[in-house]
Amino acid sequence: MTTVLAVANQKGGVAKTTTVASLGAALVGLGQKVLVVDLDPQGCLTFSLGHNPDRLDASVHEVLTGDLGAREAVIDTEDGVALLPATIDLAGAEALLLMRPGREFALKRALAPLLDDYDTVIIDCPPSLGVLTLNGLTAAQSVLVPLQCETLAHRGVGQLLRTVTEVQQITNPDLVLLGALPTLYDARTTHSRDVLSDVSDRYNLPVLAPPIPRTVRFAEATASGATVLAGRKNKGAQAYRDLAENLAKHWAGSELATFSPGSGE
């Protein structure tokens, strides 16, 4: 059975796109067939996987508007991950979808013919709580929230969690909130642990293991058009490999490993 995971946080700069690309590549490394979906009109995921959004003839925009089948828009990447790319045209799709009945189900309907082709589908939701993010949450079985380990990073988390609850009540009752994924984590400081403890206590939100460390390798990888897993060994790549193993075991029936902010473990 195909696993569909949405990665969402309406706050930008929390390593959401990095998480989608790196986790996808790590799952490919475990032998899975993986499709990643770029739902952000900025096309950051598309760019980070080596494709120029300005030079694409087909994207998720045409898929959501019904002008093209999803299979016809999927492209390959050097990391072995299949990509349903985004272009700036996607900004117009939001306005078009708002005028259509059942607009929250457009992505779910589009992906249905593709599910048998992949083990895992990961959706990169835009940094907003608009109709595109609602499409991502409605199409997914579970949602992961990347959370930057800095002061005020959790502002808006409550609003996102309320949106997830509304999606569960209205369009996707089976949606499971996996928890928060610590990103840009600095194990040398108590500040990072304090931020995570506050989120865990305030929202009763599980914190997934392992935390993703702050490293310049992520920026270097994005600039090169490949994920951090494609380069030499580094702590960021290893963290996403460990996360992929944690999630794969969970989807196979094991308990999800979580991180204890108070202990640093």
- Residue scoring higher pLDDT (50 or 224): 50
Give the separation between CA 18 and CA 22, rounded to whole angstroms: 6
| pLDDT tens digits along 159-182 | 889 999 999 999 999 999 999 998
Give the separation between CA 118 and CA 113, rounded to whole angstroms: 11
- Per-residue model confidence (pLDDT) at position 136: 98
Q: State how beta strands 3-7 and 82-84 pair.
A: unpaired
| pLDDT tens digits along 108-151 | 999 999 999 999 999 999 999 899 999 999 999 999 999 887 76
Specify which residues 34 forms β-bridges with. Answer: 120
| pLDDT tens digits along 213-255 | 877 666 665 656 667 676 667 888 899 999 999 999 999 999 9
CA angle, 1 then 226 then 94, to 5°: 65
Domain coordinates in residue numbering, the chain: 3-179
In 3D space, the residue among 132, 138, 36 whose CA is nearest the CA of residue 93 turns out to be 132
Q: What mean pLDDT do residues 81-99 have?
A: 92
Give the separation between CA 261 and CA 192, rounded to whole angstroms: 8
Q: Identify the band that residue 51 occupies on the pLDDT scale cut at 50, 70 and 90.
A: very high
pTM over 0.75: yes
**Which CATH architecture describes the domain 3-179?**
3-Layer(aba) Sandwich (3.40)
